[in-house]
Every structure is written in structure tokens, then in C-alpha cells.
Structure 1
Amino acid sequence: MDIHTALAQRLRELRDARGWSLDALAERSTVSRSNISLIERGQSSPTAVVLDKLATALGVSLASLFETPDGAAATEPSPLAVAGEQPVWTDPASGYVRRNLSPALWSPLQLVEVQFPAGKRVAYDTSLRDAEIHQQVWIIEGEMEMTVGEERWRLRTGDCLAMRLDCPIVYRNPTRKPARYLVALSRVPDGSARSPA
């Protein structure tokens, strides 16, 4: 299954689990109904900003939109994520590439590797979600500038920044070289045994 088909199924699965119509998700996310419909049919390549709006409205992390849809696996989810089978997605707006490293087996921890092009910027208007989500960003190589709420940090190779996903976050590579970093997300479910977050 390609990444756009998996993303389409996962988004529809999360929306259906909440019993929301396309109009309801559009209202909560400020993403147009027609755009959501195109994404759910695999006919649109949404930007990271659009996906973040949808994830925020659904109360989940952006990374969870790239998890294997529940209906796609014929067997129990595997605790192993083979490198060649890890979902890879490229943001059409900034060109940043994200690889979901985590296995399909549910865990409160998710790992994502990001390759961020030189001179690019992505701004997420993140807000409170139903589940409490924390993340840490560890710079593997290069440099990144991150603004979390009102605070700004310049991160260099080896630096690690922790934050809660409850305010706007801006990622920017201010250099002429690409950066690579690891994102570790932990989720505190909203009380359900297996939160879709």
C-alpha cells in the first residue's frame, strides 16, 4: 500500500471512529470539506500544515496519521518495523521527508526521522488535543531553529529539545545544508485502553 492510500484510510478510520461527518471534521480543523474528501480518496497530496490541522482536530499526533490503518493488517501488528517497509512521506510544500520508524504494534512512544532541506520552514498552529502529547527533537546532523510558543532555540548536532504539543511550533533550517533529526513522541491517552492518538 502506498503512503497516500495508507494516509487516506487512516484519516477516514480516525474520523469514522469519532462518528464525525466530513463537515464536522472540516469545521473543527478549518480544512475545507472538499480537501478532506480528496485526501480520504487518495487524490490529494496534503501539506504538513494541513495534516497537522487535521491531527489537531482529531486529537492525535501528526505521526499517528501515518500509522498502519487498523483494517489494513490481516494479522496481529508486528513489534518489528523493517527499514525498507517504514512509511516515508515528503511534504509537497517544504520538501521535508519524514520516516515513521515505529512498528505497527501500538505503543505510547513513536519515533520519526526527519530530513529537513536547507532554508526551509514549516509552521504548525498546534493547539490542545484530547490526548496529552509530548515530544523531543534530537538533532542528528545539521542545525535547526525551533520556535515553541513564544520561545526560540537554535539547535545544533547533538542538541535535544523537549516540548508539549499544545502551542504553535515553527521548524526552520536557517543554514545552507540539510538537517536530520529524530522526533520521539509520547502519548498519554484520554482514558481509553487503546487511544487512537
Structure 2
Amino acid sequence: MDIHTALAQRLRELRDARGWSLEALAERSAVSRSTISLIERGESSPTAVVLDKLATALGVSLASLFEPSGHTAAAEPSPYAAAQSQPVWTDPASGYVRRNLSPELWSPIQLVEVRFPAGKRVAYDTSLRDAEIHQQVWIIEGTMEITVGERRWRLETGDCLAMKLDCPIVWRNPTRQSARYLVALSRVARNP
């Protein structure tokens, strides 16, 4: 199954689990109903910004959109994820490439490897979700500027930054070399 088909199934599954219509998700995410419909049919290659809006509205991390759909996952999820089976997705707007490293077996931690092209920028208007999502970013090689709310950080190879996904975040590679980094995410359910 290609990444767009898997993403389509997962998005539809998350929306259906909440009992939301396309219109309800469109209203909550500020993404048009027609765009969501195209994504759910696997007929659109959404940008990272659009996926972040959908993930925020659904109360999940962006990485969660790339998890296997309940319809396709094995009866007993595997604790092992072979490199060739890890979902890889490329943002059509910036060209950044993300690989979900985590296996199908549920864990409170998700790992994602990102290759971010030189001179590119992605801005997420992250807001409150149904769960607290925390992440740490560890630069494997290269340089990234990450703006969290009003604070900007310049991270070089080996540097690590922790943040909570509750405010706008801008990712920028200010150099002429691509960057590679690891993102570790954890989710804490909010108390009702």
C-alpha cells in the first residue's frame, strides 16, 4: 500500500472514530471539505501544514496520521519495524522527508526521522489538542532553526530541544546543506 492510500485510510478512521462528518472536520481544522475528501480518497498529496491542521483538529500528533490503520494492522501489532516497512512521506511544498520509525505496537513514544532540505521552511500553527503532546528534537547532522512561540533556537549537530506542541512552531534550515534529525514524541491524555 502506498503512503497516500495509508494516510487516506488513517485520516478517515480517525474522523469516523470521533463520529465527525467531513464538514465537522473542515470546520475544526480550517481545511476545506473538498480538500479533506480528496485526501481521504487518496487523490491529493497534502502538505505538512495541511496535515498538521488536521492532526491538531483530531487531537493527535502529525506522526499519528502515518500509523497503520486499524483496518490494515495485524491482529497482534508487531514490536519490530523493519526499515523497509517504515512509512516514508515527502512534503510536496518543502520537500522535507519524514520516516516513521516506530513499530505498530502501541507505545507512549513515537520516533520520526526527518531530512530537511537546505534553505526550506515549514510553519505549523499548532494549537491546543485533546492530549498534551511533547517532543524532543535531536539534530543528527546539519543545522536547524526552530521557533517555538516567540523563542527561536539554533540547533547544530548533536543539539537537542524539548517542546510542548501548544503554540506555533516554525522549522527552518538556514544553510546550504540538508539537515537530518530525530523527533521523539510522547502523548499525555488530558484529564476530563
Asked whether the two chains share a fold, i.e. TM above 0.5, the reply is: yes
State the distance in 2 between where 1:170 and 1:138 align.
16
**Which 5+ residue runs of structure 1 have no aligned equivalent?**
193-197
Taking the aligned partners of 1:105 and 1:37, their CA distance within structure 2 comes to: 29
Cross-structure match for 1:11:
11
* Deviations, residues 72-105 of structure 1 (Å, cap 9, x unaligned): 0242110000001000000000000000000011
Q: Is there any run of 5+ residues in structure 2 with no aligned partner, and where?
A: none
- Please give the residue correspondences for 1:89-168 in structure 2 after superposition, counting only pairs within 5 Å: 89-168=89-168
Moved over 2 A (4+): 189-192
Residue 191 of structure 1, CA deviation? 5.9
Shift of 1:169: 0.2
Aligned to 2:177: 177
Number of residue equivalences = 192
Q: Kindly tell me: are residues 17 and 98 of structure 1, through their superposed partners in 2, closer, same or farther at Cα, counting changes over 3 Å?
A: same
Counterpart for residue 61 of structure 1: 61
Please give the secondary structure, in 2, of the residue aligned with 1:140: strand
In 1, Cα distance between equivalents of 2:38 and 2:99: 23
TM-score norm. by structure 1 comes to 0.96
Please give the root-mean-square deviation of Cα atoms over the aligned residues, in Å.
1.0
1:130 to partner: Cα distance: 0.3
Determine the C-alpha separation between the residues in 2 that align with 1:162 and 1:148. 10
Tell me the residue number matched to 1:88.
Answer: 88
- Deviation of residue 189 (structure 1)? 2.3
Corresponding residue of 2:72: 72
Matches of 1:37 and 1:191, distance apart in 2:
32
